[in-house]
Amino acid sequence: MAADGLSISLKLPCVFSPKSRQYLAVCAQDGRLRVWNTDSKTLHQEYVPSAHLSATCTCVAWGPCRTVKEGPQRKRRKSEAAQVEEKADLLAMGTAAGTVLIYSTAKGSLHCTLDGGHSGGVNCVHWHPEDGLLYSGSDDTNIVEWDLQTGKTRSKWKADRAAVTSLCVSPDGKLLLSAGHVIKMWDLETKEVYRKFTGHSTAVTTLRFATTRPPDSNGLYFLSGAAHDRLLSVWQVREDGKDKNSVVSFTLTDEPQHVDLITSSSKEEAVRLAVVCKDGQLHLFEHFLNGPCKKPLSPSCSVQMSDTKDSPMPIPLLAAALGADPRSVLLAYGNHLQPVMENAEINTAERHVCLTRDIKTNLSLSMETTVSKVKTPIVNAKSKVLIPGLPGHKAPVVSAPQGTEKRRKDAGNKEMSIAEQLGEINLDASSSQKGAPKAAASLQTDNYAVLLMQGLESKDANILNKVFQTRKEVEIKKTVARLPLPAVIPLVEELTTRLQGNPLVACMMVRWLKAVLVHHTSYLASLPDLVTQLGILYHMIESRVKMFHKLTKLHGKLHLLTTQVAANDSRNPVSDVDYTAKLVYEEESADEEEASGDEALPSEDSDHWEEEEAMQEDEGDEEDEDSDSRTEPKANGDEDMEHENESEEE
């Protein structure tokens, strides 16, 4: 219910007056009621409730047209008296404080205030077509019947276990539809339940009767639409009570926000339906209600608006009203502060129609004298300034300097830059402890949701980095839970861009993405263009997970090898290795060469190596002389032998 309540509170009322469609009542973000004239396209009246900041307007409903006495007038003739027309006068506004304000457009002031009936915020109001009664549904699960003549409650009863989010009175004024999650049909005479209808999983925000036929003829139909639901369901009230399921469904592109229809009085007459969705598109339907239809019906024509720039941007439609001509539709588009009204001719033969408009030239800035003048408020030192945003977002209130001396002092001090203000933001809870010094002019933030909203709107990387550095799962879940629904898609886009960067940053972003998918699954599933918005994220996750199966196999094999190696090492402990050789084999030739080489070289230990060399040279000379003396006798002996041989021969 939290998400549903948030969506209901963010829905800004925008309603055309009945029959002539002369006025458009809009409650904007500033809590003021503005009544625009659709003929002159100017601001007709503006009303500022006394508690427009604390008790904002949640719903608006025009009362039935009536004849209004506008002060003393001259007597009219009988021929002129017949030309008096009934005009839309009273306007009921439900507030978040539980009161109902009745505003009169003829007087231009508040007609009366209905209070004391509800203890919770009013979610819906609906007028009785004839008896001057008003019905209101609230968060306190009660329905109150108000008598406008006395300004008091006529009756009050409990409608459901959940909050009453939508009401509708039948055209004959005998039946009342109320809805939370379950749709109930009440008999207004006895205040008892006539029928029950179940089929919506979220809070029902739209209830409208589609036919004016009585329920006894099996020809009474009504339609319902729910929050975050892209279908309009049509229910049939049957005599036998076998009306458990819806008989027809109309397909939409988003949640319905404004519904206008022309009822049918017989089976031969088709129901014309105009639905403005939350995405700003208009869908037109035309169908004969005569029993069940299995397939959901698509719109006969869808209308979109865009500007005339080179890169066209869509212009959201706020409300639409059907006319007598099937081709003419009264449109209100732009923003709620200053909408643009236009009676457009639409070619319903085409399935899709795109209208291009230049909003700047169509805006009418002229206002009538009934508009209230703007006054600058006097701010005291003790007063508190309420600013838009989430609860808990506070900013220091600086009183206006008084006197010339203070002005001179303030003129010397320079204003803090945005970087300095960001530096003084204290995200820790240390400042809340006792004895902690208080900053003189620092920003105060009570939760991360405010900072995250500011960072997403301004696209400030410093604020987003400080928020995304949070590693606590509890803080991340609380922050994502407090985030409003319009900020979910920008958060997913920011997380997607950050996931494509550094892997360490991606690990932190995965926690935020998990929290978003867990808390806002139902909202994301209801988006019509979910595939295009989350396509980049899906392809990125798929590319990163493609190798996961192979990596798990490799991880398992490596784990098996490491465990086996560790087990073997534990069984066979390795002792100290002895590096000394147990056997040495030496060749003989190598030993002889080493020995001869050692004899030829002088000993390094001898200090008189020169004397030893001289001694060796002397010994060598003596050996040479001996050898010469030996060779001489040998030569003489040889000669004697030769002479003896010669004599013998002779």
Task: Give the contacts of 352 (CB within 8 A, at least 6 positions apart).
Answer: 301, 302, 304
Query: What pLDDT score does 171 carry?
Result: 87
This model's pTM is above 0.85: no
| Terminal-residue alpha carbon distance, the chain | 159
Query: What pLDDT score does 365 carry?
Result: 42
Residue closest to 14 by CA, chosen among 203, 260, 234: 260
Q: Are 230 and 251 in contact (CB under 8 A)?
A: yes
Q: What is the DSSP letter of 430?
A: G
Higher local confidence (pLDDT), 93 or 595:
93
Task: Give the contacts of 92 (CB within 8 A, at least 6 positions apart).
Answer: 60, 61, 62, 63, 100, 101, 102, 103, 125, 127, 134
| 366 sits in which H/E element | none
Six-digit token string for 431: 């400042």
Q: Within 10 Å of residue 94's Cβ, how many Cβ atoms?
A: 26
Q: What is the DSSP letter of 416?
A: P
Coil vs helix vs strand at 89:
coil
Q: Within 10 Å of residue 296's Cβ, how many Cβ atoms?
A: 14
Return left, alpha or beta for 160; rule: phi > 0 is left, psi -120 to 50 is alpha, else beta: beta
Q: 68-72, 333-337, 521-525: lowest mean pLDDT where? A: 68-72
Choose the CATH number for 14-67+87-356 among 3.40.50.720, 1.10.3470.10, 2.130.10.10, 3.90.226.10.
2.130.10.10
* Per-residue pLDDT band at 348 (split at 50, 70, 90): confident
Partner residues linked to 345 by β-bridges = 328
Q: Are 199 and 175 in contact (CB under 8 A)?
A: no
Share of the chain above pLDDT 70, in %: 70
Domain ranges, ordered by start, for the chain: 14-67+87-356, 461-545
Q: What is the DSSP letter of 171?
A: T
Q: Are 119 and 103 in contact (CB under 8 A)?
A: no
Q: 11-20, 549-558, 597-606: lowest mean pLDDT where? A: 597-606
Answer whether residue 2 shows pLDDT above 50: no
> What is the average pLDDT across 342-371?
72
Supply φ then ψ for residue 27, to 5 degrees.
-110, 115
Supply φ then ψ for residue 492, to 5 degrees.
-65, -40
Q: Residue holding tokens 């050692």? A: 598
The sign of the dihedral angle between the CA atoms of 191, 196, 197, 203 is: positive
- In angstroms, the CA 106 to CA 91 distance is 11
| 87 sits in which H/E element | none
Query: What pLDDT score does 333 carry?
Result: 92
Convert the pLDDT of each residue in 430-481 to its tens digit: 444 444 444 433 333 446 788 888 888 888 888 888 888 888 888 888 888 8
Query: What pLDDT score does 434 carry?
Result: 44
Q: 186-200, 465-479, 493-507, 605-619: lowest mean pLDDT where? A: 605-619
- In angstroms, the CA 378 to CA 49 distance is 19
- In angstroms, the CA 356 to CA 310 distance is 12
Q: What is the DSSP letter of 22?
A: -
Residue closest to 17 by CA, chosen among 41, 44, 42, 35: 35
E strands of 238-325, at which residues?
248-251, 256-262, 271-277, 282-287, 301-306, 317-322
E strands of 346-478, at which residues?
352-356, 393-394, 444-445
> What is the average pLDDT across 529-547?
79
Q: Within 10 Å of residue 512's Cβ, how many Cβ atoms?
A: 23
Q: 48-62, 123-137, 169-183, 221-235: lowest mean pLDDT where? A: 48-62
Convert the pLDDT of each residue in 248-265 to its tens digit: 999 999 999 999 998 888
Residue closest to 126 by CA, chosen among 110, 145, 153, 106: 145
Q: What is the dihedral of CA 243, 245, 249, 253, to 10 degrees?
A: 140
Answer whether residue 373 shows pLDDT above 70: no
Return left, alpha or beta for 291; rule: phi > 0 is left, psi -120 to 50 is alpha, else beta: left
Percentage helix, strand, coil for the chain under 3-state DSSP, each rounded to 5: 30, 25, 45
- In angstroms, the CA 274 to CA 329 distance is 9
The sign of the dihedral angle between the CA atoms of 35, 40, 42, 46 is: negative
Partner residues linked to 183 by β-bridges = 179, 197
Query: Sheet containing 33-37: which strands, arranged edge to edge?
Result: 14-16, 23-27, 33-37, 42-47
Query: What pLDDT score does 507 carry?
Result: 82
- In angstroms, the CA 181 to CA 199 distance is 8
Convert the pLDDT of each residue in 546-594 to its tens digit: 888 888 889 999 999 999 998 888 876 656 666 777 788 877 765 555 5
Coil vs helix vs strand at 188:
coil
Convert the pLDDT of each residue in 122-175 to its tens digit: 999 999 988 789 999 999 999 999 998 888 999 999 988 889 999 999 988 889
pLDDT averaged over every residue in the chain: 76
Convert the pLDDT of each residue in 626-648 to its tens digit: 555 554 444 455 555 555 555 55
Q: Are 113 and 136 in contact (CB under 8 A)?
A: no
Query: What pLDDT score does 335 carry?
Result: 85
* Per-residue pLDDT band at 506 (split at 50, 70, 90): confident
